Amino acid sequence: MPVIDAWMQHPTPRHANHEMFESLRRWTGMERPEKPLPVEVTVAALEAADVEVGLASAWYGPQGTLVDNDEVAGFVEQAGGRLRGVAGADLARPMAAVRELRRAVEELGFVALRVVPWL
């Protein structure tokens, strides 16, 4: 049976270096990346965990965008079929959010929308 990782991000430096992850960086010993990680790093992690497909999510929150839909589309394109795009949108702007979801599905080929109410 195939395994799908249902919530993941391929990190951008904006995402990985955000202050909310400071304790995680301390706990894991992870350094702050100065440049984007190659998508191959995420694909290798999927491979190591025997995950066939990852649902790569955009990340929109009150402080702004940490991973945008166009970045996710680029990651999906580079991942050789191992990633599917999951849209995000600024929920503080509902009409713009609906338009962005339509664009993500119709133009970028995304398969889902991630809504995180606590954000």
Q: Quick check: is 39 in a domain?
A: yes
Question: Given a cut of 90, is residue 75 above it in pLDDT?
Answer: yes
| Confidence label for 119 from pLDDT (cuts 50, 70 and 90) | low
7-16: average pLDDT: 82
| Confidence label for 26 from pLDDT (cuts 50, 70 and 90) | confident
pTM of the model: 0.86
Question: Given a cut of 90, is residue 107 above it in pLDDT?
Answer: yes
- What angle, rounded to 10 degrees, do the helices at 39-48 and 69-78 form? 60
Q: Which domain holds residue 23?
A: 4-113
Q: How many domains does the chain have?
A: 1
Residue 109, domain CATH? 3.20.20.140
Distance between CA atoms of residues 94 and 110, nearest Å: 19
Q: Quick check: is 118 in a domain?
A: no
pLDDT in tens, 36-59: 889 999 999 999 988 889 999 999
Q: Quick check: is 31 in a domain?
A: yes
Residue 58: DSSP 8-state: P
105-116: average pLDDT: 93
pLDDT value of residue 9 = 85
Q: Quick check: is 62 in a domain?
A: yes
Phi, psi of 21 (to 5 degrees): -100, 10
Q: Quick check: is 61 in a domain?
A: yes
Q: Quick check: is 119 in a domain?
A: no
Ranges 12-21, 75-84, 106-115: which has the least confidence: 12-21
Sign of CA dihedral 48, 49, 55, 58: negative
